[in-house]
Amino acid sequence: DTEVTQTPKHLVMGMTNKKSLKCEQHMGHRAMYWYKQKAKKPPELMFVYSYEKLSINESVPSRFSPECPNSSLLNLHLHALQPEDSALYLCASSQDGGGSYGYTFGSGTRLTVV
């Protein structure tokens, strides 16, 4: 299995809702990442988990809460989001820092906050 699977593919939520994004990989990768991508912009790093521990938080607002329950699974819990948080949320994984192969990305969750 050489894929990163993200669910759901699309999500519409209100500003008072609580929802979660899910990311799964079975490649034995020990680093997992959340990126946010606005339209026609490059991906921006949000969080990095290394060996199931949060190693980088790029000053992301607390309405985004990451969780890594095990080495294959990464969640992003969403609460009280704003319309400007609407974006494509990409999950990625890598073997340690990625070596010469970089990261494997999932196809993303397109989030719309109304």
Partner 1 sequence: GQNIDQPTEMTATEGAIVQINCTYQTSGFNGLFWYQQHAGEAPTFLSYNVLDGLEEKGRFSSFLSRSKGYSYLLLKELQMKDSASYLCAVRDTIYKLIFGTGTLLAVQP
- Interface ranges with partner 1 (CB under 8 A): 4, 31, 33, 40-45, 48, 50, 55-56, 88, 90, 96-98, 100-108, 110
Is 79 or 98 the residue whose CB approaches partner 1 more closely?
98
Burial zone of 95 (CB within 10 Å; 0-12 exposed, 13-18 middle, 19+ buried): middle
Contacts of 81 (CB under 8 A, 6+ apart): 13, 15, 17, 63, 111, 113
Nearest approach in angstroms of CB 46 to partner 1 is 12
Nearest approach in angstroms of CB 53 to partner 1 is 11
